[in-house]
Structure 1
Amino acid sequence: MFKGNVLVIGASGGIGKTLIKQLHESGKYAQVYAVSRTLPDSKMDGVEYHTVDSENENSIAQYCQELKQNGGQFSLVVCCIGALHASGADNQKIMPEKRLEDINQDQLSFYFTTNVILPALWLKHVEALLKGAEPAKLVFFSARVGSISDNQLGGWYGYRSSKAALNMLIKSAQIECQRRAKNICLISYHPGTVDTELSKPFQSNVPKRKLFTTDFTVTQLLKIIPNLTAENGPHYVDWQGSVIPW
């Protein structure tokens, strides 16, 4: 049975850490690589940790080139980069907009940089790691609110729009891969509302049974992706494996 390498991008977050743990413990991969802006406080034996500034494309390119030179096709890359809220310049709070009047340039720039541009840079450079004779999966953490046709509530302009743009990026990349890297299957994954820092300010309105642990949503993802193929890609699915309309 083929054992490819696996890379988790954005490995320092709650979901990223759990992904690394489950991937490593599964024994299905030749080597697990974890990359983030900072190294974790505690490292897992057998996992290769590296720091890369995702806002520096040269750093991304150099790191991916090093992985390529190490040899071995990657069978899975998961990009966990994304943000829903943050503290911006001058400690300005960045939160989803409720009204048109809340839209501002700095906030939109933050959402599109974090949720679209940085994943796009990684997509550009990891393709060479995944391309090969064996099937490979490239997963991006998206969100149901990125669905244009499923939008019934409005609001959250920057976050919704940036996730919709990420989905379009994934769709376009799958078309290109079907011409030049037919083994690569792209997946846009909605993990549900997960108990991490990303969802903290919004958890009070979420029913307990709908607030998932990182273990649950990662387990669901790893159950779902083996059944998804490049021929039918790209795939926009939720934690149940249900298809989300683009």
Structure 2
Amino acid sequence: MKKALVIGASGGIGAAIAAQLEARGISVTGLSRSADGLDLTDDQRSARILQGLDTPYDLVLVATGALEINGAGPEKSLRALSAQAMADQFALNAIGPALVLREAGRLLPRESRSVCAVLSARVGSIGDNRLGGWVSYRASKAALNQIVRTAAIELARSHKQAVCVALHPGTVATAFTEKYLGRHPAVLPNEAASNLLRVIEGLTPEQSGGFYDWAGKEVPW
């Protein structure tokens, strides 16, 4: 791997992954809304920035997302559902990464191995949902998983050695999760980054379109 693109490079996990890649001598392009104006809820601005990049990249990692948007956190039940809060979750957690995947064919090399990895979440697994709640966030991540699966199928037609996957990083102690950790064990961003990079390095084209956790185990849809 020589070049990597990290979308969401100012966040806890994105920053840790970018730093570890750079420490390995890999050229990293890091983009974020705060540093570069990459707003994945803005179709035209996102397209302009992504189409102006110096491609191709051996790794494209999308590490954007949020549990709480505009003060609206995860719902405890369906009774707390708000149309606006749900729309905001889909805009950032599903449509945003989809705008990056729309450019995947141009961002990745055609003739060599590459990986396009998008951070998802286990709570987006329909089969693993046993507690209910968190309706908007769960649904946005389930939608994201479908988008990744579809992108992988289309990408395989032109990029035979590409791997396109959804990854669950585990519970990571960042500002993203600070209010919601509770009693859940969490790892620091550097450890999460190491785990994810280990999984990414071991992926094969046959695994493209899958959903895997930080240990490389497949997560049910």
Aligned-residue offset at 1:234: 1.6
1:131 and 1:56 mapped to 2: Cα distance? Answer: 26
1:180 CA displacement: 2.1
1:16 Cα deviation after fit = 1.3
Question: Does 2:219 correspond to 1:221?
Answer: no
Superposition pairs for residues 190-229 of structure 1, below 5 Å? 190-206=168-184, 210-229=185-204
| Structure 2 residue aligned with 1:8 | 6
- Supply the distance in 1 between the matched residues of 2:23 and 2:206 (Cα, whole angstroms): 29
Report if the CA contact (8 A) 2:152-2:165 is conserved: no
CA deviation after TM superposition for structure 1 residue 85, in Å: 1.2
One-letter code of the match for 1:99?
S
Query: 2:52 corresponds to which residue?
Result: 66
Q: What does residue 82 of structure 1 align with?
A: 65
User: Does residue 166 in structure 1 map to residue 162 in structure 2?
Assistant: no
Spell out the pairing of 1:137-176 with structure 2 (5 A cutoff): 137-176=115-154
Q: How does 1:7-26 map to 2 (within 5 A)?
A: 7-26=5-24
Q: Which residue of structure 1 lines up, in the alignment, with residue 210 of structure 2?
A: 235
Distance 2:146 2:39 in 1: 24
Deviation string 1:106-162 (CA, Å, 9 cap, x unpaired) is 110111011001110111123311032110000111000111111111111001110
Aligned with residue 133 of structure 1, among 111, 119, 133: 111
| Distance (whole Å) between structure 2 residues aligned to residue 226 and residue 10 of structure 1 | 20
Structure 2 residue 39 is matched with structure 1 residue 53: yes
Task: Check the 8 A contact 1:228/1:235 in 2, yes or no.
Answer: no
Runs of 4+ in 1 over 4 A off after TM superposition: none
User: Separation in 2 of the partners of 1:191 and 1:132?
Assistant: 27
8 A contact 1:75–1:136 mirrored in 2: yes
Unaligned runs of 5+ in 2: none
Shift of 1:204: 2.5
Alignment: residue pair count: 221
Equivalence for 2:33: 37
Max Rg structure: 1
CA contact (8 A) 1:60 1:125 kept: no
TM-score calculated relative to the size of structure 2: 0.94
Contact 2:113–2:161, Cα closer than 8 Å, also in 1: yes
Q: Percent identity?
A: 37
Residue of structure 2 in register with 1:42 after alignment: none
- Does structure 1 conserve the Cα–Cα contact (< 8 Å) formed by 2:120 and 2:166? yes
In the alignment, structure 1 segments of 5+ residues that lack a partner are: 40-49
Task: Give the deviation of 1:205 after TM superposition.
Answer: 2.1
